[in-house]
A = this chain, B = another copy of it.
Amino acid sequence: MRLAGLIQERISDTLARHREELTALGPDALPLLDEALGFLTGGKRFRAQFAVLGFRAARELDTAGDVTGELSRVLDAACALEFFHAAALIHDDVIDRSDTRRGRPSVHRLFGAMHRQHGWRGSADHFGLAGAILLGDLLQSWADELMQAACDATPDRDAARRAREHFNRMRSEVAVGQYLDVLEEQQPEFAGHAEQLERSTRVLVFKSAKYSVEAPILIGAALAGASAELESALADFGLPVGVAFQLRDDQLGVFGDEELTGKPIGDDLIEGKRTVLVALARENLPVTQRRIFDDLLGTELDAEQVAILQRTIRESGAVERVEEMISRNIERATDALTGAPIRGDAAAQLTELAERAARRTH
């Protein structure tokens, strides 16, 4: 797809410009830029694509021809989302102690390896942590610059202002959502079923559903000058798609194929993530089995223990329930577009991308 190429090109150009600007700081700074490029190459680009389609929902946009000023600012906004996401993932991997990301070592691991390779003094792990924190900070700033560029180039000042508002709200919500997610893992006990499901759903909505789908669409739509009515329909579409996206993520975190996800099998089980899937599985377990489940979750599981937890979740019926929830959310999303003042080709593309987000295998 040409769009993916345009986005990668814009990312590379942006990093090349920053490399240029930072030459006064000398060659020692270059590993930061190299790791940034490595991290920002590849990925599924769902957020960038949803932003482009959000724009298209309100206004025609040709991505096949020359890069016009209009396409250029949509690309800046789309890349802003990819930079911000990279920053968030780099910090997430530190917080979640994840050693791999997309089949490569995570950024703190890469900086740690650099330390070991050079035989530097002090702790390689701590240097890895420092490198990851600072690279995340840099990418967050650069995301913001891209968003500024997109907004500054938008002639409709009110459209630009609304796009910034969506972007700002998204940033706050995802950081706080991530905090709530971490907090959940620290609790000695699960809450009662209803409360736990509410807590797990809140994390799912703010840490992922709004962030991964709803906000990108709204940012794109706002930049295109979408009406309040269209924005509202797109929010009604984006939120359930985001929920389906994250429910799929929860499934992949437990049952995903390591070769495809690029993450160790049973990752979420070892981390002890209290996902909606896990909350639903626990509801149906007999007391003794639930106690064993709770004792294992969030510990250093071996392959056999991972398999036991997987089987328990599967036999609880939670997998089917989550699949139903995914289908229901996608239906609800599709319905939200019916009768909305949305451009026809964009509606079809949004539905298609929603299906891909919900049915993905990695």
Chain A residues close to B by CB (< 8 Å): 18, 21-22, 24-26, 28-29, 32, 87-88, 91, 94-95, 97, 115, 118-122, 126-127, 129-131, 133-134, 136-138, 140-142, 144-145, 148, 152, 161, 164, 168-169, 171-173, 175-180, 182-183, 185-188, 202, 206, 298
Contacts and interface: CB of A to CB of B under 8 A. Distances in A.
A65 to B, nearest CB: 29
Contacts of A32: 176, 179
A187 B141 contact: no
A297 to B, nearest CB: 11
Contacts of A177: 25
A200 to B, nearest CB: 13
Contact of A176 (B138, B152, B179): B138
29 contacts: A22-B173, A22-B176, A25-B176, A25-B177, A25-B202, A28-B180, A87-B137, A91-B133, A95-B134, A115-B186, A119-B188, A120-B186, A120-B187, A121-B186, A130-B179, A133-B133, A134-B175, A134-B176, A134-B182, A136-B137, A137-B137, A138-B175, A140-B140, A141-B168, A141-B171, A142-B172, A144-B144, A148-B148, A152-B161
A126 to B, nearest CB: 8
Contacts of A148: 148, 164, 168
B168 A145 contact: yes
B172 A18 contact: yes
Contacts of A144: 144, 168
A165 B90 CA distance: 26
Given A95-B130, A130-B182, A137 B175 contact: yes
A135 to B, nearest CB: 8
A39 B32 CA distance: 29
Nearest to A94: B133
A185 B138 CA distance: 21
A175 B179 CA distance: 23
Contacts of A186: 115, 118, 120-122, 127
Contacts of A179: 29, 32, 130-131, 134
Contact of A121 (B25, B121, B187): B187
Nearest to A168: B145
A26 B180 CA distance: 9
A269 to B, nearest CB: 15
A222 B185 CA distance: 46
A123 B293 CA distance: 21
Given A119-B188, A121-B186, A130-B179, A169 B21 contact: yes
A95 B173 contact: no
Contact of A173 (B25, B129, B173): B25
Contacts of A161: 152
A188 B121 contact: yes
A330 B122 CA distance: 36
A225 to B, nearest CB: 18
Given A134-B175, A168-B141, A183 B28 contact: yes
Residue of A24, A140, A172, A188 with highest tally of chain B CB at under 10 A: A172
Contacts of A24: 206
A136 B179 CA distance: 12
Contacts of A118: 186
Contacts of A18: 172
B141 A21 contact: no
